[in-house]
Structure 1
C-alpha cells in the first residue's frame, strides 16, 4: 500500500522511530528531510537514542524524544507518559530490533509502517499494520527512504543539512585550518560479538605516511573513549614516521562531524564515521571485507571502497553474494588481512587526483 497525500490534505502529525546506530541515524536524516520538504507545516516527532540525538537533535522543526535503551522498563514507561494522548497519522517504524518494537507500542498511530516481511526481523511485523514494498538487495539508506516514499514524499534527491554550532565549527577550524588539508582516520568500528572489522595498526600507519609524503595531508585519528580505541591509536602512532594528531576520546559527535566536513577524506572500516562522511559531503575510503559495501557502504563513496567481501564470503561459505541472505557477514577473524596498504593508497591517490 502506498498513499500520496495532496498538499491540501497533509498528515496532521508523523512519528519516526529510529534509535540507533550512528550510521543508520545518518541514513534516516534524508527521510526526515523528504517529509519536511513535502509537508513543511506537519509536526514530526523522532524517537531516537540519547547518543544519536547529540548529532541530529538540533534539527529545526522536529520534536526529538530521547529514548534511553539502558533504562529497562522505566524507559518504555517514560516514553508512554510523554506520548500519552497523542494521535499520529503515521508511525515510521524503521528499526527491527525487538526493543524498538516494544518502544513502538508506546507511540499511538493509525498507520504503523514497518519493513516488508523479508526484512521485518525480530517479529517486527507483529507491531505494524502496513509495510514498505519488498526490494531485494537494497542499500540500507534506500530501504529507509522507502518509508518516506510510502507516504508520498519525493526521495530522488537525498539531503542532510545537519546543523553545526559555531563552537563546534571553531573546534574543527582549530584542528584543520584552511591552509592545512587533512585526512580523518577512524580506525575502529563498534565492538560487537564476532564483528571483525579492525585492520592492522601498522597498515594504517603506512597510509598516514603515504598521505603525508605524496599529498601533504596531515592525519587526525578519531574515535571513542574506550581503552580499545585508545590502544589502537597509540599503536598506529608507534608505527608512523609522520605523526598524526590523536583526538581519540576527545570529540563529541558534533565536533567529529565538523572535523569530517572540513577534511579532504575519511578512511575507516564499516562504521558510523563512514556515513557521517556521506552526510557531510566528504569522500570516504571504506575498508570492507566482513560486510558488503553495496548494502552498508558510504552511499556516495562506494567507488572509493576497497571491497574484499565477495571473495571472503566465497572462502567462508562457498557461495556468492547472490546466493546468501542479503546482509550476511563474514565471521573470519582474519578477514581484514585481505586488504593491502597498496589498495588503500591507490584509492587515496585516485581520489586526490580528482
Structure 2
C-alpha cells in the first residue's frame, strides 16, 4: 500500500475511533491489554473496536467501553462475510494490526481506514508488511508486551500503563472461594501449553506437587482446559503423586480459571495462556522455559522466578547463544523441556516462599 494514501502519525489530537485487530491467543490477548488500557487512560473519549477470536472474547467480553467484534476462524469464509457486513458504512481513524497471520491480514482488508499500522519490516511475519502502510518503530530484543507498546507509541502516546483490570464476575469469585483452601497457601499447577513441545513432564509436576504438599503444607490445584492432552496430563500427575492434588482441568470456564488464578498464591506453568493470565491478575508465576526465550515471552512481572534452560537448548541445537540467533527462535525438539529438573523448579518455589517470609517480617 502506498504511504501517500495515509494520514499522518503520530496523532496531534485524540482520534475519534480506532480499530484493533488481535484475534488470539489468550496469552497475547493478555499482552495486548496494557496497550488498550494505556489508550483508554490517555484518550478516554476515543472509541475502541476490537476484532477478537471467539474463545478469547470470553476472557474480555465484559470490559467496559470497548466494542468487541468476534471473528470465529472456524467459520472460514463466513467469518469474513460477517466482518465485511459489520464494517459496511463505518470508518476508523486508524487500524492497529497487531496479529501476524495471513488470516488476520486478509481480515484487515475489510476494515475501512486510511491508517493501517503494523509491525516493522524486520519483525513482521507472514508478509504482514504488505497489508500495512505505517510501521511501528524498529526495536530489537523486546518482550512481547514491550513490542506491543510500539503501537501506542506510534499513535503518539508516550506513557506505558501496565494495567490489565480484567473483570471477574461475582459468581466466578465465589466459585474460587469455595474451591480453594483458606488456611493454606495455594499452588496452581497449569501443566500444559497449546504447543505440546513446551510441556514439562507429568513426573516432574507430580514431584513438585508432593514437595509443596508434604514439605510446605500447600494446597495444590491442577488447572487447564478441556482438551484431551490436558485431561491426560492431569490424570497422569494425580496417578504419580503420593499426595492428592485437586484436579480442575477441564472443569472451569475462562472466568472461573481467572478467579482461581487471582486467589492463588503462586502458579507453575510453561509458556502458556494461564502463565500470562496469572500475570494479569497479579499472581507470581514460576515459568518453565527451555523451548522459548523467556526474555521475549516470560510472565512479565516474575522474571526472578523463571526456570531458564533456553540457553542450554540453543547451545545444544545450534551451538549459539540467545544473543546470536534470531529473536523468537524456538527449539521444538522432543525432550527439550526435560532439561528442566525437579530441583530447578523446587528452587524457584523455595525462593518465592522465602520472599514471602521476608515480606511478612518487614
Q: Normalising by the residue count of structure 2, what TM-score does the alignment of the two structures yield?
A: 0.94
Q: What is the CA distance between 1:213 and its match in structure 2?
A: 2.2
Whether 2:56 is the aligned partner of 1:55: answer no
1:149-181, Cα deviation, whole Å (9 max, x unpaired) = 111224433100100010111111111243342
Q: What is the CA distance between 1:246 and its match in structure 2?
A: 0.5
Secondary structure of the corresponding residue to residue 162 of structure 2: coil
Secondary structure of the corresponding residue to residue 93 of structure 2: strand
Residue pair 1:172, 1:259 contacting (<8 A) in 2 also? yes
Question: For 1:18, which of 11, 17, 22 is the aligned residue?
Answer: 22
Secondary structure of the corresponding residue to residue 70 of structure 1: helix
Aligned to 1:29: 33
Residue pair 1:2, 1:152 contacting (<8 A) in 2 also? no
Secondary structure of the corresponding residue to residue 353 of structure 1: helix
Taking the aligned partners of 2:8 and 2:205, their CA distance within structure 1 comes to 47
Secondary structure of the corresponding residue to residue 126 of structure 2: coil
1:63-100, Cα deviation, whole Å (9 max, x unpaired) = 01110011111101100111111111110000011100
Secondary structure of the corresponding residue to residue 194 of structure 2: coil
Range with bigger deviation, 17-26 or 104-113: 104-113
Aligned to 1:41: 45
Distance 1:267 1:301, change over 3 A: same
Taking the aligned partners of 1:242 and 1:76, their CA distance within structure 2 comes to 50
Q: What is the CA distance between 1:145 and its match in structure 2?
A: 1.3
Whether 2:330 is the aligned partner of 1:329: answer yes
Whether 2:189 is the aligned partner of 1:188: answer no
Taking the aligned partners of 2:114 and 2:270, their CA distance within structure 1 comes to 40
Secondary structure of the corresponding residue to residue 205 of structure 2: helix
Range with bigger deviation, 273-282 or 169-178: 169-178
Whether 2:119 is the aligned partner of 1:84: answer no
Aligned to 2:231: 230
Whether 2:211 is the aligned partner of 1:207: answer no
Residue pair 2:193, 2:270 contacting (<8 A) in 1 also? yes
Taking the aligned partners of 1:47 and 1:207, their CA distance within structure 2 comes to 40
The ranges of structure 1 where at least 4 consecutive aligned residues each deviate by more than 6 angstroms after the TM superposition are none
Taking the aligned partners of 1:87 and 1:205, their CA distance within structure 2 comes to 53
Residue segments in structure 2 that go unaligned for 5+ positions in a row: 1-6, 356-362
Whether 2:139 is the aligned partner of 1:135: answer yes
Aligned to 1:264: 265
Aligned to 1:111: 115
Whether 2:221 is the aligned partner of 1:217: answer no
Distance 1:155 1:207, change over 3 A: farther
Taking the aligned partners of 1:150 and 1:179, their CA distance within structure 2 comes to 48
Distance 1:2 1:343, change over 3 A: farther
Q: What is the CA distance between 1:134 and its match in structure 2?
A: 0.7
Q: How does 1:65-104 map to 2 (within 5 A)?
A: 65-104=69-108
Q: How many residues align?
A: 349
Taking the aligned partners of 2:297 and 2:338, their CA distance within structure 1 comes to 20
Aligned to 1:277: 278
Q: How does 1:302-341 map to 2 (within 5 A)?
A: 302-341=303-342
Residue pair 1:182, 1:263 contacting (<8 A) in 2 also? yes
Taking the aligned partners of 1:176 and 1:154, their CA distance within structure 2 comes to 41
Residue segments in structure 1 that go unaligned for 5+ positions in a row: none
Taking the aligned partners of 1:297 and 1:258, their CA distance within structure 2 comes to 21
Taking the aligned partners of 1:165 and 1:12, their CA distance within structure 2 comes to 30
Whether 2:148 is the aligned partner of 1:144: answer yes
Taking the aligned partners of 1:133 and 1:154, their CA distance within structure 2 comes to 13
Secondary structure of the corresponding residue to residue 48 of structure 1: strand
Q: What is the CA distance between 1:226 and its match in structure 2?
A: 1.6
Q: How does 1:166-181 map to 2 (within 5 A)?
A: 166-181=170-185
Taking the aligned partners of 1:121 and 1:14, their CA distance within structure 2 comes to 23
1:201-235, Cα deviation, whole Å (9 max, x unpaired) = 12111111111123221111011112211111111
Taking the aligned partners of 1:297 and 1:76, their CA distance within structure 2 comes to 33
